[in-house]
Amino acid sequence: MPNYLSPGVYIEEPEAGTRPIEGVGTAVAAFVGFAASGPMHSPTLVANWAQYTSIFGEPVPGTYLGHAVYGYFLNGGGTAYVVRVGGAPTVDGAGANGSAANGARGELRSAADPASATYVATVRDPALRGAQVTVEIADAPEGAPEDSFRLIVRGGGREEVFEPVTTRRGRTNVVTQVNATSTLIELAEAPAAGAHAAAASAAERRPANGVVALVEPPSTEVVVNPAEYVGSSADRTGFAGLEVIDTVTMVAVPDLMAAHLAGQIDADGVRAVQTAMIAHCELMGDRMAIIDPPPGLGAQQVRHWRREEAGYDSKYAALYWPWIRVFDPQSGRPIDLPPSGHMAGVWARNDATRGVHKAPANEVVRGRSGSPRA
């Protein structure tokens, strides 16, 4: 008890023995799929679409995770966890870390040895990916140090001139100058040049005069398998890593269908992942699996697939059909999406506006422009 040092009237409010009942979220979705950037195999909490894009980037063409998360928030979803798997295909020139280092690039060759590259220039501005960006190396103006040169960057109607710059360490170093002020490119020492930079002279590291056009690297495809989605609870990977998060109430893997359409996962692989999703939800006992059907199936085909081929029968899973058609702002045309992301948002909206006692039926799916054509 407190010690009162002077006379008077004091009011004490002792803490109650039991805490009042506190409300908890009943609709927190977890999504597993492909993204352009962001942490791999780490459940990341996002509260809105802007936060998602700042961490994971814009939706990657040919994948569904970004569209599913957007549909979730559009339909009333609150917070969500995102688990990025498989890396990201360099379809749009963006790499796994979301930096310009995987966009259009060009090598600046050594003036002393044209067979070796001394620097690598990459496009920094995402708006210029695919556009022509050039880097020109020329002699420095009169009166400049002997080992200095001029670097000129052109692209998007802009021109940036750096002079005089050198390959020496210090304030005039070309990498330091370009990366500090250029809005068009980033510059880095080539791996081989960086390994031998201490032994090479400034003249050997100086790039040769000429113009280099930055071009997109060849597109690469990420190879995934069912184990990539399922993951391991011990290693905290895949949706198995969601076991430590007790606030999750819905699990969706929209990019399972992206891999299936790309021919990377066959029908048996789809069933294996979705069966593991259901097993995960049954094991946890506090969440539901929202299952996407394979694309292009009619009503009777979906019924046959669910009952005869897949054999799903669980009170911890829900299958939604058909796929939905939405407008894709990136391509400017309609695209077909698996419905799990949008339906997770409908569940969240229903819980928030009506309550968990009402089934999320007869609800409007926001963002839907139609059903896929047969």
Domain ranges of the chain: 29-89+221-353, 104-214
The least confident of 11-15, 17-21, 237-241, 312-316 is: 17-21
Q: How far apart are CA 287 and CA 30, in angstroms?
A: 10
Strand partners, 162: 151
Give the CATH class of 29-89+221-353.
Answer: alpha beta
Q: Are 341 and 67 in contact (CB under 8 A)?
A: yes
pTM, rounded to two decimals: 0.62
The sign one gets for the Cα dihedral 28, 34, 38, 41 is positive
Are the C-beta atoms of residues 150 and 138 closer than 8 Å to each other?
Answer: yes
| 325-49-360-278 Cα dihedral, nearest 10 degrees | 90
Over 70: is that where the pLDDT of 102 sits?
no
Cis peptide leading into residue 164 (ω within 30°)? yes
pLDDT in tens, 27-78: 899 999 999 888 888 899 999 999 999 999 888 888 999 999 999 999 999 9
Over residues 259-276, the pLDDT tens digits come to 999 888 999 999 999 999
Average pLDDT, the chain: 84
Share of the chain above pLDDT 90, in %: 47
Q: What pLDDT was estimated at residue 87?
A: 59
